[in-house]
Amino acid sequence: MTTALATRIAREYGTPAVVVDMTRVERNIARIQAACDAAGVANRPHIKTHKSPLLARLQRDAGAAGITCQKLGEAEVMADGGLDDILISYNLLGDEKVRRLGALLARVDVTAAADNEVVVSGLPLAAELAGRPLPVVIECDTGRERAGVATPAEAVALAQAIAARQGLEFAGFLFYPTENGWPQAQRFFDDAAAGVRALGLTPRIVSTGGTPNLKNLGGLRGATEHRPGTYIYNDRMQVAAGVASWDDCALQVYATVVSRAAPDRGILDAGSKVLTADQGGLDGHGLILDHPGARIARLAEEHGFLDLSRCTERPAVGDVVRIVPNHVCVVVNMVDEVLMVRGDEIVGTLPVAARGRLR
């Protein structure tokens, strides 16, 4: 059972292919922009998911206030592609990074993030090189235990350290609450905001993040913006989180069944070098839309191991199947380009321009 589009993609492009339906992309962009508008928070989409200036411009043209990047190298690609308001939600430190940050700040609006004084102490050089102030938001940890200052008192002290530095502007607070951690984030923010106001500082930016957190959109009183990333494509994790339907999943991996070594088993030509080993806490490595009873049980680098024991209609060697991956952001980062379709039509290819920009 292979769809007509899958047959065409296999014949004209080859598998495995990372395929994006642009109609769904546009719908996802519009839907979440409308949700942000309705919640009264600006949309600052995280481009780590698509890594494409073209798609970032679509997001901006639909109403996004700017974009978010995780790495400086991503931000440079986005600036090259015409994006001019960029938040880098990541501690940047070391001479090499700070000098590049300065060069970037000289040509576009950049906001940096920091959660410690070592990072803050390095940033003035960027402002000096750019000849303009660098706004800095403070990353706050409210339960995720990733980066971020751990207490409001630390946030206030760091705000003071930022404000005291030549060339730096204290710009506000960056949150990435867990899905259930919004009350905690509210308490953190209220205390930190009171603390910085007592110092005469104003948190101009109060940023929340995450596509699963779209269900909490506007849930932080005082928030000015949200940074969703995955929503442009969606994936199995977002469906599991209840923020997307299967029809909202704009990206699918097309793969060919290349072996049926035993009745209950099969092999796909898509392994960890395209689906990635990142399971996102789910069972298996993706949903096969054509055979929902099939399980992608494990992956070798170029092999997907199919468990067909619960599959009523089993795929044959040569069948081309469509997979919704567990975590789309890491899948996109495996390929230099995605294949764009609209419904059943192949539209063209789209470079993943910031792919692999780790630095």
Query: In the complex, which residues of this chain contact a second copy (CB under 8 A)?
Result: 10-17, 48, 70-71, 90-91, 93-97, 100, 115-116, 118-119, 141, 145-150, 256, 258-262, 265, 267, 269-270, 272-274, 276-279, 300-303, 305, 316-318, 329-330, 333-336, 356, 358-359
Nearest distance, CB of residue 38 and a second copy, angstroms: 29
Smallest distance from the beta carbon of 210 to a second copy, in angstroms? Answer: 12
Instruction: Work out how close the CB of 179 gets to a second copy at its nearest, in angstroms, rounded to a whole number.
Output: 15
**Is 96 or 179 the residue whose CB approaches a second copy more closely?**
96
Q: Which is nearer to a second copy, 35 or 236 (CB)?
A: 236
User: Please, are residues 192 and 152 in contact by the beta-carbon 8 Å criterion?
Assistant: yes
Question: Cβ atoms within 10 A of the Cβ of 13, count?
Answer: 13
CA dist 200 and 190 (Å) reads 15
Buried b (16+ CB within 10 A) or exposed e, 43-81: bbbbbbbbbbbebbbbbbebebbbbbbbbbbbbbbbbeb
Q: Which residue lies nearer to a second copy by CB, 23 or 272?
A: 272
Residue at token pair 């790495």 = 71
- CB of residue 229 vs a second copy: minimum separation in angstroms? 9
- Of the candidates 224, 205, 228, 232, the residue with the CA atom closest to the CA atom of residue 215: 228
Nearest distance from C-beta of residue 40 to a second copy, angstroms: 29
The verdict on whether omega for the bond into residue 16 sits within 30 degrees of 0, i.e. cis, is yes
Q: Which of 100, 104, 71 lies closest to 85, judged by CA? A: 104
Q: Which is nearer to a second copy, 225 or 269 (CB)?
A: 269
Of 22 and 329, nearer to a second copy (C-beta) is: 329
Q: Shortest Cβ distance from residue 132 to a second copy (Å)?
A: 23
For the chain, the distance separating the N- and C-terminal CA atoms, rounded to the nearest angstrom, is 43
Residue 270 CB, nearest distance to a second copy (Å)?
Answer: 8
- Give the residue ranges of DSSP H helices in 167-291: 182-198, 236-241
Closer residue to a second copy (CB): 292 or 356: 356
Within 10 A of 277 (CB to CB), how many other CB atoms are there? 12
Q: Which is nearer to a second copy, 43 or 326 (CB)?
A: 326
Closest CA to 326 of 306, 296, 356: 296
The minimum distance between CB 259 and a second copy, in angstroms, equals 4
Query: Is 246:290 a contact under the CB 8 Å cutoff?
Result: no
Cβ distance to a second copy smaller for residue 145 or 200: 145
The answer to whether 328 and 233 are in contact (CB under 8 A) is yes
Unique residue bearing structure tokens 């909202």:
248
